[in-house]
Structure 1
Amino acid sequence: MSFLDKAKEFAAKHDKQVDQVLEKVGDEVDKRTGHKYTTHIDKGVDEAQKRTGEGDTRA
């Protein structure tokens, strides 16, 4: 099993935690860029969350 396969398996098993980390990373990037790219960052986080596990687990 390759590293990528292991990473995909981990993300699928821990979707909620992965979504939470992606959200925190997006918030930090947004803060460090002075909130200039909030819309783009949010779209990127949402897309990344959709691609992990069974999809976005946020409410």
Structure 2
Amino acid sequence: MAGFDDIAKKAQEFLGDDKVKDALKSEQAEGISDKLLDGVAGAVDKATGGKFHDQIDSARDEADKKVGDN
């Protein structure tokens, strides 16, 4: 578990960097994140047979609020 803790700490440090924060809030990041989030949401929706469609859409929308220029 120590390896995971190290990775998590490095990820937090990386995401705390002002340059990284600015890049994540860019229009380019928005386009890329929308495609990625749509793909993941679609795959999970398909894998669950649509049983959790509303929850998946809600989670996708919340994640989208964290990345990009919106």
Give the RMSD, CA atoms, in angstroms. Answer: 1.8
AA partner of residue 59 (structure 2): G
Instruction: Give aligned-pair identity as a percent.
Output: 35
Q: In structure 2, list runs of 5 or more residues that go unmatched.
A: 1-12
1:3 equivalent to 2:18? Answer no
Higher gyration radius (CA): 2
Which has the bigger relative contact order, CA under 8 A and spacing at least 6?
1
- Assess, with a 3 A threshold, how the Cα gap between structure 1 residues 8 and 32 changes in structure 2: closer, same or farther: farther
Q: In structure 1, list runs of 5 or more residues that go unmatched.
A: none
1:1-59 correspondence to structure 2 within 5 Å? 2-5=13-16, 8-13=21-26, 14-55=29-70
Structure number with the higher helix fraction is: 2
TM-score when normalising by structure 1: 0.72
TM-score when normalising by structure 2: 0.63
AA partner of residue 39 (structure 1): D
The number of residues matched between the two structures is 54
**Greater mean alpha carbon deviation, residues 3-12 or residues 42-51:** 3-12
